[in-house]
Amino acid sequence: MQMDPLSATFAALADPTRRAILARLAVGPANVTELALPFAISQPAISKHLKMLERAGLVSRSREAQSRPCQIEAAPLKQVADWTAEYRVFWERSFDRLDSYLDTLQPKEKPRAPHN
């Protein structure tokens, strides 16, 4: 079953290890060995995560001699940002309503009489 691009991106981002891999790749390209270093999982497990990220279009691999460095691809992340931006108006309105409600709960300060 083929997923639409946005669903594939969200599925790839659902795993904290894959998000950590993307965070590392945002710093610059890295190979599987370098990506596996901070994790207590095997290189084959990292490769499986990379394959999911590749299927979602979030990562690409090139070939340099014997190495296959990975790099982040930002276009799918832009699609996620665009999709979530559509809901920004909803959240802003919700926060505005909450602010208004909280204002009604605040006791009104009475003006103080001047001291002589």
Kindly tell me the number of DSSP H helices and DSSP E strands found in the chain.
6, 2
User: 108 or 53: which carries more pLDDT confidence?
Assistant: 53
Q: How many CA atoms within 13 Å lie on the side-chain side of 70?
A: 27
Fill in the amino acid letter for 78: K
Residue 96: which pLDDT band, with cuts at 50, 70 and 90?
confident
According to the CATH classification, is domain 5-74 in 1.10.287.3510?
A: no
Residue 116: which pLDDT band, with cuts at 50, 70 and 90?
low
Phi first, then psi, for residue 70 (nearest 5°) are -105, 150
**What's the confidence (pLDDT) of residue 111?**
63
> How many CB atoms sit inside 10 A of residue 18's CB?
21
